[in-house]
Amino acid sequence: MLSEYGAWRLRTDEDAPALEEVRTLETLLRLKAERLGSPEVGLWTAALTRELLTEVVPRTVVQPREQLMDMVPVLRRLIDFLVETGRWAPGSMRGAEAPALLHDLEFAALEAADDPTRRSFSTNVLGHGLSLGVDLEDEEALADYLHWFHSLPDAERLAVSGTGRLAQPSTPFDPLLERALRRRDEAEERDWPWFLPALEDDGEPLGELAEQEGVGPYLDCPLVRRAVGVLEVVGEGRRATATGAPGRETTAELLEHLGLDGGARSLWDRPELAGVWTTLLDGGWLELADGRVRAAVGPVPAAAPENAEGFVEFGHALITAALLGRQTRGAEDGGFRGMPDTIAALLVACGDEGLRLPPGPELPPPEHEPRALARMLHVMHDVGDLADCGVLTHEEGVFRGGSAVMLALVGLLRRDGEADRSDRP
C-alpha cells in the first residue's frame, strides 16, 4: 500500500518528497498496529487518530519539530489516497469529519510533542540529543551523547529525562571531546585489571561447571547459613522499624542466634547482618507490612541442609539475589562501584587460590595512570561488601568464593549476555 501511495503522490506532484512521506506513514501505521491494536490500514476513527498523534507519537517518536509539523498534512494526504482507492474502511470517521479533526490536530499534536509529561524518559533524553545536533541514526554519535549524558550530575540527568531540556549544563556537550573520553573509558574497561592475577584456565569453558557438589559449597557460604537462621528467628512475624529493620530486641536475638558479637543498636550497624537482611528483602523471602516483618516463601522456598535438593536451590537463588541486587543498584544505594572490574575480581576469588587485595609487589600499579588506584579501591569496596554480607569469605587478606558463588556468577553473566543480544536490532 505504501508503495502505491508513493507512486500516487508523485503522479499528483512530481516534486513531492514521497520517500520521506512514506517513512512517516510507515511509522504511524506501525504504531497504530502495535500500540493501539489497529492493524487495518484503512480504519481511522476520530478517537484512534487523536490518541495516535497526541499520546502515542509523543511517547515513542523522536524527530525534529519540522517533521512533526509535516505529520498531520501527510496523514491528510494518506486519507485522500485511501478514499480515492477504495481502501477507506467501514467504521472509520465520516469523510466530512476528517478535515476538521486533522485541522484541530495540527496544533494539538505539536502541543503534545512539546509537553514533557507526555514523553517517556527515553524520548526526552533522545529528543534533547537531537536538539544538540546529534544524529540519532549514527551509532557512534549516539554513544558519544549518551556517554556525556551519563556523566552529568544526578540533578541534571533528571532534568533532561524529565523535560528534554537543560539550559546550562555543568559540562557542555562537545562531540569530539566526548568521543575521546568514551574511547578511553571503553579501552580501560576492556583491559584486564592490573591488580588481578591472570584468570586460572583449567581448560573447561566458563559456565560448564562440574557436577553439583551437594550441599557442601552452600554450607561453606556464610550468607546462606545466616539467611536460614534469620528466617528461623523472624518466623511468623516481628516488629519492624520505619527503616525496614527489626527492632533492637530482635536484632540482639538474631546476632545471638547466628553466633555474632552482640551490642548493636540497630541491624544497620552490623554489615554482616544487614547484607543478609537486604538480600532476603530483595529476593522476597522477607515481607514488610503494617510495621511487621515476616518470613515468606520467596522465589524458592527456604530449606534446611537435611533437604539437600531444596537447600541447594535456595542457596543458589539467595547468592544470585545478593549479586543481582548489587548489580542493579546505583553505587550511592549500595550497588557495585567497580564494574566491570568487580566481575573479573569475583572470577578470580572463586578460583583455587582466591583473590588477594591489595595485591603484593608482584603486581605494581601502572606508572603515569592516576585512575589505576581508584579502580582497585572501587573493587576493594565491592568485594569487601560481599565479604561482610557473607557471599565471600575473607581471611589474611585473601577473598574466596567457591563453586556455589561461581555458579551464581556465571548465571548472571549468561543473563546479561542474552539481554544484550535481545536488545540488538
Supply the DSSP string of 58-89, one letter for each residue: HHH----HHHHHHHHHHHHHHHHHHHHTT---
Identify the pLDDT of residue 424. Answer: 41
Residues in the chain: 425
Where do we find the cell 568514551?
A: 182
pLDDT digits (tens, 9 = 90+) for 267-319: 888 888 999 999 999 889 999 888 899 999 888 999 888 998 999 999 999 99
Identify the pLDDT of residue 188. Answer: 61
Identify the pLDDT of residue 369. Answer: 66
Where do we find the cell 563453586?
A: 403
CB within 8 Å of 136: residues ≥ 6 apart:
62, 126, 129, 130, 142
User: Left, alpha or beta for 120 (phi > 0: left; psi -120 to 50: alpha)?
Assistant: beta
Identify the pLDDT of residue 173. Answer: 92
| CA 309/CA 329 separation, integer angstroms | 30
Buried (b) or exposed (e) across 271-310, using 16+ Cβ within 10 A? ebbbbbbbbbbbbebbbeeeeebebbebebebbebeeeeb
pTM of the model: 0.55
Identify the pLDDT of residue 261. Answer: 84
| CA 138/CA 38 separation, integer angstroms | 31
By the 8 A CB rule, do 374 and 193 touch? no
Question: Which amino acid does the sequence have at 148?
Answer: W
Cα 65–Cα 70–Cα 74 angle in degrees, nearest 5: 155
Identify the pLDDT of residue 226. Answer: 93
By the 8 A CB rule, do 296 and 285 touch? yes
- Residues of the chain with pLDDT below 70 are 65, 187-190, 200-213, 367-370, 415-425
| CA 288/CA 274 separation, integer angstroms | 15
Identify the pLDDT of residue 199. Answer: 72
Identify the pLDDT of residue 208. Answer: 44
| CA 146/CA 150 separation, integer angstroms | 6
Identify the pLDDT of residue 121. Answer: 77
| CA 396/CA 357 separation, integer angstroms | 10
